[in-house]
Amino acid sequence: MRTTTNLAAPDAQLEQALAILDQQPRPSVAQRFLRSQVVNTQRDLAALRPFRPTEFGAGPASPSAAHIQAANQLITHLRGRLQTISTVLDHEAERGVAAPTTANLQAILAHRQAALSRAKAIERIWQFYLELFGQRQSRFADMLLGMDRIALDCYQAIYTGLGAPRSIPSPAPFSYMETGFTPATYRRGIRLTRLGRNINPFPVVQLPNHRLINPWTLGAVHHEVAHNLQNDLGLWNVVPRQILARLLQAGAPPAVAQTWARWHKEIWADLAGALLGGPGVVVSLLDVLGRTPAAALHFSPTGVHPTPYLRTLINTELLRRMGFRRQASELERLWRRMYPRPEQGNIPRDMLGAFPEANRLVVDTICYQPHPNLGGKQLAQVFCFDQSHEQMTQEAAQRIAHGVDPGIMPARFLVGAVRHAFDQQLAPPSQIARNFYGALSRR
């Protein structure tokens, strides 16, 4: 008996399956649209998650648990509003599916637009921290770790030297590299545009690549950290009032006194940086201030930075008070040789005429007068770089030049050491830079 094969059976089965599908209700265009609004918002929310503790590595250069936690607290707070909008949108979508009227659809559009705006705002902040922390997995990791250690050492030097005990603020300053910019800092506790005008949870020190690859120019670290110290010690609003009162009491013209008070942040950061790191920090500053006469002698009536020509002389005045008279005189002679006629600029005559006495009084007010915020001590008593530290720095320069560990040298002194090694040509610049970062990363 011959058996025949039913070749039409598969086609019949397919037609039966399609018939069943045709009988099931298909989502309408409105339902598909509403579902996409809900799903997209939920996925936006899930993507803007807090960072995991070891997401950026677990090595010494990785962001600390305190830095990750501070960033996550801000992100979690911001996600709360997006979560609320997402929940409302979900309920509105259910209503829209049941009754896709114009009013219901437009209500959903309003919530989706609000959700998207919120997601974009959080995403910018999330991306800021992603890039900030992500650099610690790049080739810049050891450089940035070194800057963190210098910054932390500056904090420890001040907070352990105060006349009254205060806990060191946490998290510590965090360094990052941004090309095409000058060194800068974002202080703790202020509202930042980059964070959507939210409060910055820890100091951020911005350093450009051209400084990092030339570490003998990194007196900028001491300067930027000093800005944060002035803020954290509660001296941000105190210092300008003290400068203004001292100069007016001494008979300075009001416009002159007000200008010095306006310069307080940059002067305080310069002077505190020199006290923390010594003459090498001041020499590093000259790399930045050395410009054409037109630029160095230009006075800005609204600027917060002292006129470059005067700014160097403010720093050499402090060096002299610190006991480094020879270094101060040498730098001043060079400076006056480069700019022999300061009156050729637009610095007001009253400023130039009052400068020697005003300079002395401002340096004395900031560094050599007791402050309640410093536990009743002078800034120069809390921490001060002296001749013994300079000898340590010069010995460390020899060691860095030859690839020998500088030992228990405070990290904040190593910029002066690398500056000395560079100026004295103790080794090729590339070798000095490599050994400098190696000494910091091994700590």
Other Cβ atoms closer than 10 A to 184: 14
Q: Amino acid identity of 38?
A: V
Query: Is the pLDDT reported for residue 316 higher than 70?
Result: yes
Query: Is the pLDDT reported for residue 283 higher than 60?
Result: yes
Tokens matching residue 48: 């803007």
Query: Is the pLDDT reported for residue 91 higher than 80?
Result: yes
Contacts of 383 (CB under 8 A, 6+ apart): 157, 158, 161, 275, 276
Q: Amino acid identity of 411?
A: A
Q: How far is CA 436 from the centre of its chain?
A: 22
Rg (CA), the chain: 31
**Which of 29-38, 274-283, 326-335 comes out lowest in average pLDDT?**
29-38
Query: Is the pLDDT reported for residue 34 higher than 90?
Result: no
Confidence of residue 133 (pLDDT cuts 50, 70, 90): very high
**Which of 16-25, 170-179, 182-191, 258-267 comes out lowest in average pLDDT?**
16-25
Q: Is 208 helix (H, G, I), strand (E, B) or coil?
A: coil
Q: What share of the chain is helix, strand, coil (3-state, %, to 5)?
A: 65, 5, 30
Question: Mean pLDDT across the stretch 299-313?
Answer: 97
Query: Is the pLDDT reported for residue 232 higher than 50?
Result: yes
Cβ atoms of 229 and 155 closer than 8 Å: yes
pLDDT tens, residue by residue, 10-24: 566 656 655 655 555
Position 46 scores a pLDDT of 93
Measure the CA–CA gap between 42 and 36, rounded to whole angstroms. 10
HSE at residue 6, side-chain half, CA atoms within 13 A, is 5
Query: Is the pLDDT reported for residue 4 higher than 70?
Result: no
Query: Is the pLDDT reported for residue 399 higher than 70?
Result: yes
Contacts of 143 (CB under 8 A, 6+ apart): 177, 212, 437
∠ CA 5-9-11 to the nearest 5 degrees? 135
Helices (H), 290-348: 293-296, 308-322, 325-338
Confidence of residue 210 (pLDDT cuts 50, 70, 90): very high
Cβ atoms of 189 and 202 closer than 8 Å: no
Confidence of residue 5 (pLDDT cuts 50, 70, 90): very low
Which pairing describes strands 174-177 and 184-186: parallel, antiparallel, or unpaired? unpaired
The better pLDDT of the pair 12, 254 is held by 254
Cβ atoms of 239 and 263 closer than 8 Å: no
Confidence of residue 126 (pLDDT cuts 50, 70, 90): very high
∠ CA 245-315-303 to the nearest 5 degrees? 60
Mean pLDDT (the chain, rounded) = 93
Question: Mean pLDDT across the stretch 421-433?
Answer: 97
Question: Mean pLDDT across the stretch 175-202?
Answer: 92
Position 30 scores a pLDDT of 84
Q: Amino acid identity of 195?
A: L
**Which of 18-27, 222-231, 268-277, 339-348 comes out lowest in average pLDDT?**
18-27
Position 97 scores a pLDDT of 86
The better pLDDT of the pair 20, 274 is held by 274
The model's pTM:
0.89
Question: Mean pLDDT across the stretch 105-111?
Answer: 91
Query: Angle, nearest 10°, between helix axes 254-262 and 349-367?
Result: 50
In the chain, count H helices and then E strands: 19, 5
Cβ atoms of 181 and 211 closer than 8 Å: no
Query: Is the pLDDT reported for residue 9 higher than 70?
Result: no
